[in-house]
Amino acid sequence: MSQDLRRDTVEQPDTGLHSKGLSTGTVGVLGLVVIGISCIAPAYTLTAGLGATVSEVGTQLPAILLAGFIPMLLVALGYRELNNAMPDSGTSFTWATRAFGPMIGWMGGWGLIAATVIVLSNLAAVAVDFFYILIAQLTGNQAIAELTDNLWVNIPTTLAFIAAAAYISYRGLNATKVFQYILVGFQVSVLLLFAVMAFTNSTPFDRTPITLDMFNPASVDSFSAFAAGISLSIFVFWGWDVTLTMNEETTDPNKVPGRGATWTVLLIIALYLAVSLGVLYWAGVGETGLGAGNEANQESIFAVLSGPIMGPLAILMSLAILSSSAASLQSTMVSPARTLLAMGYYKALPPSFAKISPRFMSPSVATIVSAAAAAVFYVVTRLISENALWDTITALGLMICFYYGLTALACVWYFRGELFTNVRNFFFKFLAPLVGGVVLLVMFFSTAVESMNPDYGSGSAIGNVGMVFILGVGVLLLGVAIMLFTRVRHPAFFKGETIKTR
Amino acid sequence: MKLLVGYTADQRGAEAIELAAALVQGTLSPSLVIAIVLPASTPFSTVYPGGDHGFDSILSAKVDEWAAHALNQVPAGVTVRVVARSVPSVAEGLMELAEDSGAHGIVLGGRKRHRAGFFMPGGVANALLHASSVSVIMSSPQALASLRAAQGRITRMTAFVGDRPGAREVIASAARFATARGVDLRVATLVADSDVSDPATELNQHLVRTRKFLTELTDSMGLQASVEVVSGQSLDEAIESLEWIDGEFAILGSARLAATRRLFIGPKAQRILRQLNVPMAVVPN
């Protein structure tokens, strides 16, 4: 027909994608601190991570928290370099693939997916615990808080939380600025209130004086305890590095990211020290009663301690933890979904993973798969482990060490041609990521070997092998199996056809 | 005539293009703007961990693919371009794009959905129906079937009006539409029993009066239009007694509540939306 009548134009510059639309240059230092703290979700990380860390390092808790930040900082510096060099791909999967080739790149992506899926199941479980605790506090009926121990109640509720979070992220609904400010402000205030009340409480359970030795990492009993403590404290800082990767969103890319990252970490360390010292001072590390060394208290420290310390105000703590874990549940759901999407897009997974919902502009298959994986992981852990929360957090620390370590080394290898051209490159592209990456991988192997011991973590075991080992290493081996399967079925990615390696 | 299509790369989007193309074809300089609206990423919705995971570049490639696919669905003879924009809200984005491109209306594909017995236009349609400064045109699979049965040609315009002053403007827009395409114009009014205080005695009189008002009105505007005043116990029953031909297109006015030159859909129009199985436009007054 009269095809020549038609004038088609596709306006490319109007997409606003490469400039990220409206978000350019709107975030100042305060905004960045809020974003950083909301990613860390301190109320959630403390309740989930503090007890498990105490079980490893006892009164050296403050020391290990401080020490744990160092590898995180070193790796984050490497992340920032990779992010600046490849801003459009922004994930461990593509970075590691470009540096080390498809196989290791695939495992880097898998490590990130596994870590986020594990944290999703833990976030949901913590949210559910505090959901019931909050209802119990509101109604004054203590029996409701114990409902969470009933698997027939706990598992369906947790699955409902995961499904709701998946639905919200599939619909592409996002937290707004006001919401984040309120959430972060509330969390920080409640945690500080907890610390103040712990120190001013007239009847501490086991008053333990604060000593300088608590800040000395060398006083930790053994190297394995130190390694396990570090891998757990990586978890409590997980999220901080986001402040370093924000550039174009800030009002002044030269100053804001650095200042924002510094303020975030100073604030968060101060908060962590205040709370952990408060816990040690009030509860001690005794293994009976309310002691922080009591295994029964370690899976969720605030669930046990906020009542005795804060009295009726404990309800604020429940609210802070519930809101921070529910909000993180939703925002974290996006992460594995997008990595799965990227892997599908670059043909490292079956192409259906690359589907994007045309209505909501979000990954469709990948979101459902992430939620289903988190649900399955939770149900399996809950059914076979005596202490699911604890074991998942320990397995999570393992997984974070794995993919962070790998990504940090990817940074060194990716920039291998320019490492020694100037002092800046030497420090940020070579020394920092190399030391950080090696430290984390050492922590990974040390903790993995240690976790084979059936007494490790909560003490659950299958066939005389520790539960944490089975969870952590099992998930990685599952990844290897899926990778080999994909390699046979969809070889394009593994032949280097979709992502060019350097 | 230029229309903006709120496009999603699925069946709805295809239906919206089909209807929009049918509406602009035969008018002077027929033109479509196909709008793909993307969510704006705000720094406060940061994904953690691991940055954006390359999502923006993948989405960008996907949008190019969708755009090419959308262009292929537009019949020859229609000028068309695709725009994509990141915005905080889809409805706002469509209104902005309609304004920027000077479009006469926004076309949406939709589904008839019933929730707890109520018809709900989709979230985007609903927002547009309450705020747009240009006409909002909606299709549904049923409406498209009617259009297809007429070989994709609009065959008649029906303007839904009340007996209030706003009627003149709705009839005028419908008449412009009809004249541009050389099709008949019909003016329809729905009367439910509850519109009069005592149906037994007053209904007939009310119907006669309304018919007289509308006939005089169309005559005074110099229009050749058929006038139908239909009644029923309820509005739904009244709507059912209207006859429809294949390829018919309905036009409704915005509620009197609306601010000048903005849409605000009233309860009566909501009910009509629910019942009609033809494509329809809601025009601002």
Binning pLDDT at 50, 70 and 90, where does residue A195 land?
very high
What residues in A contact B43, CB-CB < 8 Å? Answer: 23, 26-27, 31, 35, 246, 249
**Half-sphere exposure of residue A501: CA atoms within 13 angstroms, side-chain side:** 18
Q: Mapping DSSP to helix (H, G, I), strand (E, B) and coil, where does residue B283 land?
A: strand
Whole-number pLDDT of residue A255: 86
pLDDT the model gives residue B115: 47
Residue numbers of B between 106 and 165 with CB closer than 8 Å to A: none
Nearest CA in chain B to A116: B49
How large is the average pLDDT for residues A397-410? 91
Q: Tell me how many degrees the CA angle A268-A274-A279 measures, rounded to the nearest 5.
A: 125
Q: Which of B8, B56, B100 to mutate to test the interface with A (most CBs of A within 10 A)?
A: B56
pLDDT interval class at B193 (50, 70, 90): confident
CA distance B75 to chain A (A): 9
**What are phi and psi for residue A30, nearest 5 degrees?**
-60, -45
Pairwise CB contact (< 8 Å): A17 & B49: no
Which residues of chain A have a CB within 8 Å of the CB of B77?
A: 1-2, 5-6
Task: Give phi and psi for B111, each to the nearest 5.
Answer: -125, 150
B1-152: CATH number: 3.40.50.620
Chain B environment of A341 (Cβ under 8 Å):
53, 55, 58
Where residue A8 falls among pLDDT bands split at 50, 70, 90? very low
pLDDT tens track for A337-378: 999 999 999 999 999 999 999 988 899 999 999 999 999 999
Residue A16 has pLDDT above 50, yes or no: no
- Position B157 scores a pLDDT of 94
Interface test with A, best of B46, B83, B89 (most A CBs within 10 A): B46
The DSSP secondary-structure symbol of A19 reads T
Nearest to B81 among A8, A174, A238 (CB): A8
What are B5-33's pLDDT values in tens digits?
Answer: 999 998 989 999 999 999 998 888 899 99
The widest CA-to-CA distance across chain B, in whole angstroms, is 74
List, in sequence order, the alpha helices (H) in chain B: 11-24, 55-72, 90-101, 123-129, 141-149, 167-181, 199-220, 235-240, 267-275
Closest chain A CA to residue B66: A358
Mean pLDDT, chain B, whole residue set: 84
pLDDT at B231 (0 to 100): 87
**B210-238 confidence digits (pLDDT tens):** 899 899 999 999 888 999 998 888 888 88
In angstroms, the CA B101 to CA B106 distance is 11
Residues of chain B contacting A238 with CB distance shorter than 8 Å: 49
Q: What's the rounded Cα separation, in Å, for the pair B37 and B35?
A: 6
Tokens of A223: 């190297």
The whole-number pLDDT of residue A20 equals 40
Of B58, B76, B88, nearest to A342 by CB-CB distance is B58
Q: Tens of pLDDT along A26-71?
A: 788 999 999 999 999 999 999 998 988 998 899 999 999 999 899 9
d(CA A32, CA A259): 9
pTM above 0.90, yes or no: no
- Residue A11 pLDDT: 40
What's the mean pLDDT in A471-477?
Answer: 90
B58 touching A (Cβ < 8 Å):
yes
pLDDT surpassing 90 at residue A155: yes
ipTM, two decimals: 0.83
Spell out which residues of chain A touch residue B4, defining contact as CB-CB under 8 Å.
none
Kindly determine whether residue B43 and residue A27, on different chains, have CB atoms separated by under 8 Å: yes
Say if residue A128's pLDDT is above 80: yes
Q: Write down the residue that tokens 């809101």 correspond to.
A: A323
Across the interface, which of B47, B64, B84 has its CB nearest the CB of A335?
B47
A1 to chain B: which residues are within 8 Å by CB? 76-77
The DSSP code sequence of A406-471 is: HHHHHHHHHTGGGTTSSHHHIIIIIIHHHHHHHHHHHHHHHHHHHTTSTTSTT--EETTEEHHHHH
CA neighbor of B10 nearest in space, from A366, A498, A359: A359
In this complex, do A115 and B52 lie within 8 Å of one another by their Cβ atoms?
no
Q: What share of chain B has pLDDT > 90, as a percent?
A: 37
Is any Cβ of chain A less than 8 angstroms from the Cβ of B178?
A: no
pLDDT for res B261:
56
Closest chain B residue by Cα to residue A341: B55
Say whether B41 and A20 touch across the interface (CB within 8 A).
yes
pLDDT value of residue B263: 62
Which H helix or E strand runs over A10?
strand A8-10
Token pair listed for B255:
């509620």
Contact A11 B68 (CB under 8 A): no
Give chain A's length.
Answer: 502
Contact status, residue B44 vs residue A176, Cβ threshold 8 Å? yes
Determine whether the interchain pair A35/B46 forms a contact, defined as Cβ–Cβ distance below 8 Å. Answer: yes
Q: Kindly report the number of other CB atoms within 10 A of residue A211's CB atom.
A: 11
ω before B49 within 30° of 0 (cis)? yes
Q: What are phi and psi of B95, to 5 degrees?
A: -65, -45
For B233-252, give one letter per residue: b (16+ CB within 10 A) or e.
eebeebbeebeeeebbbbbb
pLDDT score recorded for residue B168: 86
Residues 6+ apart with CB under 8 A from A200: none
**Contacting residues for B168 by C-beta, under 8 A, at least 6 apart:** B217, B221
User: Best residue in B44, B72, B85 to probe A by mutation, most A CBs within 10 Å?
Assistant: B44
Rounded Cα–Cα distance for residues A334 and A191 (Å): 27
Where are chain A's structural domains? Answer: 27-495
B82 → chain A, closest CA residue: A10
pLDDT of residue A2: 30
> pLDDT tier at A442 (50, 70, 90 boundaries)?
very high
Q: Return mean pLDDT, chain A.
A: 87
Chain A contacts of B48, Cβ < 8 Å? 39, 239, 242, 328, 331-332, 335
Residue B66: name the closest of A378, A357, A415, A53 by CA.
A357
- Domain layout of chain B by residue ranges: 1-152
pLDDT over 90 at A305, yes or no: yes
Residue A458, min C-alpha distance to chain B (Å):
27
The number of C-beta contacts closer than 8 angstroms across A and B is: 180
- Strands B280-283 and B79-87, by their bridges, are unpaired
* Residue B76 touches partner A, C-beta closer than 8 Å: yes
Question: For the domain bounded by A27-495, which CATH number is listed?
Answer: 1.20.1740.10
Q: Name, in order, each residue with C-beta under 8 angstroms of A258's C-beta and a sequence gap of 6 or more.
A: none
- CA distances (Å), origin A465, targets A95, A381, A383, A448, A473: 34, 15, 17, 11, 11
Of the residues A1, A15, A404, A499, the best mutation for testing chain B's interface (the one with the most B CB atoms within 10 Å of its CB) is A15
